[in-house]
C-alpha cells in the first residue's frame, strides 16, 4: 500500500492541474500533458496496489504491458503503410497524402538501422542510434499526448447559446466546387444552427476563406452558396473572404463578429483531425469560442492527423530543436565519459 502513495499523489496533482487548466482555457497543449501524466500515474498506482495484494498478478500485468509494445509497433507500422497506399490510390500523389506511408517506412528503416548498428558495434553509429532513438521517444511522447487530447477535446460538447458559427475553409475543387471535406464542415455547421434555432436563437454563420490562385471565387462565397442550397437563409450568412491561413481565418472572422457584437460567443467548425490545432490557433487569435469537428473518411484521418502534429511541432520548433539538441549532446557526452 505504501508503494502506491507516491504515484497516487502525483496522479492527484496531475488530475488537479488538468481540471484547473481545462476550466480556465481548454485550448492549451499543456492540458493534454496533464491528462497523459494523470492517466500514467493512475496506471502505476493500480499496479502498485495490485502488487500489495498479489505480486505475481502485478508482475504479470507489468510484463504484459511491456510485451504488448512490440506487436503494437509492428501492427501500427503495417497499418500506416497500408493506409499510405490507400491514400495514394484515392487522393493522388501529394506530400500530405503520403505522410502515413512515410511514417510506416520510417519505422521499418529505424528497426533495420538498430539491428545493423548492434551487429557492427561501432561507437560513432552507437551515438547516432542513441540520438535517433532518444528523439523518437521524445516525439512519440508528444504525439501520444497530442492524439489523446485531440480525441478528448473533440468529444467535449461546446457551450450552447452561441451568436456565431464560423466555418473554416479548406480549398475548392476545380476552382469553384465545394469538396466533400468542406461539405462535411458545412453540414456540421448547419446542424449547429438548426439546434440553436430549436432553442429560439438565430446565430449567424461566418464562412471563412479567401480566393486561392487556382480558384475562380473566394472559398467563403462557394461555402455560402452551398449553405443556401441546403436551407440556410442568405441573410444569416456573413462572408470572410480575405484569409489564406487558419490563423487569418480566425483573426478576420473575429473582427467581423466583434463588429456585430462585442461580447460574442461562437463555435468554430472544422474537420475532426484539425480540431485541436484549430483550437490552439483560435486561442492565439483571441477568438471567444471552442472548436468542433465534422467526420472524416477513415483512410484520410491518419495522414491528416500526422500532418496536424507536424504543424504543431513546427509551431514550437525552437523548444523542440533545443530538446532534440540536448538529447544528442547527452549521447555524445555519455560516449566520451
Min mean pLDDT across 68-77, 134-143, 238-247 is at: 68-77
pLDDT score, position 2: 67
In whole angstroms, give the CA distance from residue 169 to residue 323.
34
Give which of 197, 308, 228 is closest to 207, Cα–Cα: 228
Residue 59 or residue 38, greater confidence: 38
In whole angstroms, give the CA distance from residue 286 to residue 48.
44
Q: What is the full DSSP assignment across 152-163? A: HHHHSPPPS--S
| 221 touches 175 (CB < 8 A) | no
CB count in 10 Å sphere of residue 274:
26
Question: pLDDT digits over 131-173, tens only?
Answer: 999 999 999 999 999 999 999 999 887 767 899 999 999 888 8
Cell of 90: 484515392
Cell of 126: 552507437
pLDDT score, position 26: 93
pLDDT score, position 182: 94
Supply the mean pLDDT for the chain: 91
| 34 touches 26 (CB < 8 A) | no
Question: pLDDT digits over 248-275, tens only?
Answer: 999 999 999 999 999 999 999 999 999 9
* Domain ranges (residues) in the chain: 77-155+300-336, 164-296
The H-or-E segment that residue 268 falls in is strand 266-271
Question: pLDDT digits over 85-124, tens only?
Answer: 998 888 777 777 889 999 999 999 999 999 998 888 788 8
Q: Write the CA distances from 192 to 201, 282, 304, integer angstroms.
A: 11, 19, 24
| 290 touches 160 (CB < 8 A) | no
Instruction: State the fold for domain 164-296.
Output: Rossmann fold (3.40.50)
| 247 touches 284 (CB < 8 A) | yes
Question: pLDDT digits over 292-333, tens only?
Answer: 999 888 888 999 999 999 999 999 999 999 999 999 999 988
Amino acid at each position: 500500500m505504501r508503494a502506491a502513495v507516491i504515484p497516487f499523489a502525483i496522479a492527484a496533482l496531475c488530475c488537479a492541474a488538468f481540471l484547473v487548466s481545462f476550466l480556465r482555457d481548454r485550448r492549451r497543449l499543456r492540458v493534454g500533458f496533464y491528462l497523459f501524466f494523470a492517466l500514467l500515474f493512475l496506471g502505476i498506482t493500480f499496479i502498485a496496489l495490485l502488487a500489495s495484494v498479489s505480486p505475481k498478478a502485478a508482475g504479470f500485468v507489468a510484463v504484459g504491458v511491456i510485451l504488448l509494445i512490440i506487436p503494437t509497433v509492428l501492427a501500427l507500422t503495417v497499418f500506416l503503410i497500408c493506409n499510405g497506399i490507400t491514400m495514394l490510390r484515392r487522393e493522388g500523389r501529394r506530400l500530405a497524402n503520403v505522410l502515413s506511408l512515410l511514417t510506416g517506412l520510417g519505422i521499418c528503416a529505424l528497426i533495420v538501422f538498430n539491428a545493423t548498428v548492434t551487429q557492427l558495434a561501432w561507437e560513432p553509429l552507437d551515438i547516432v542510434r542513441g540520438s535517433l532513438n532518444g528523439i523518437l521517444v521524445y516525439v512519440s511522447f508528444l504525439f501520444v499526448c497530442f492524439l489523446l487530447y485531440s480525441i478528448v477535446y473533440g468529444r467535449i460538447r461546446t457551450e450552447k447559446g452561441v451568436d456565431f458559427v464560423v466555418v473554416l475553409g479548406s480549398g475548392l475543387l476545380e476552382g469553384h466546387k465545394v469538396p466533400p471535406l468542406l461539405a462535411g464542415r458545412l453540414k456540421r455547421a448547419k446542424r449547429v444552427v438548426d439546434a440553436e434555432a430549436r432553442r429560439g436563437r438565430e446565430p449567424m454563420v461566418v464562412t471563412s476563406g479567401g480566393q486561392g490562385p487556382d480558384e475562380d471565387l473566394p472559398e467563403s462565397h462557394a461555402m455560402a452558396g452551398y449553405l443556401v442550397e441546403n436551407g440556410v437563409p442568405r441573410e444569416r450568412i456573413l462572408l470572410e473572404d480575405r484569409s489564406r491561413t487558419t490563423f487569418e481565418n480566425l483573426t478576420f472572422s473575429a473582427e467581423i463578429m466583434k463588429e456585430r457584437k462585442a461580447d460574442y460567443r461562437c463555435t468554430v467548425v472544422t474537420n475532426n483531425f484539425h480540431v485541436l490545432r484549430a483550437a490552439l490557433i483560435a486561442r492565439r487569435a483571441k477568438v471567444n469560442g471552442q472548436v468542433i469537428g465534422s467526420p472524416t473518411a477513415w483512410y484520410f484521418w491518419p495522414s491528416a492527423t500526422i500532418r496536424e502534429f507536424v504543424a504543431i511541432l513546427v509551431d514550437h520548433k525552437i523548444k523542440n530543436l533545443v530538446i532534440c539538441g540536448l538529447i544528442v549532446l547527452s549521447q555524445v557526452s555519455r560516449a566520451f565519459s
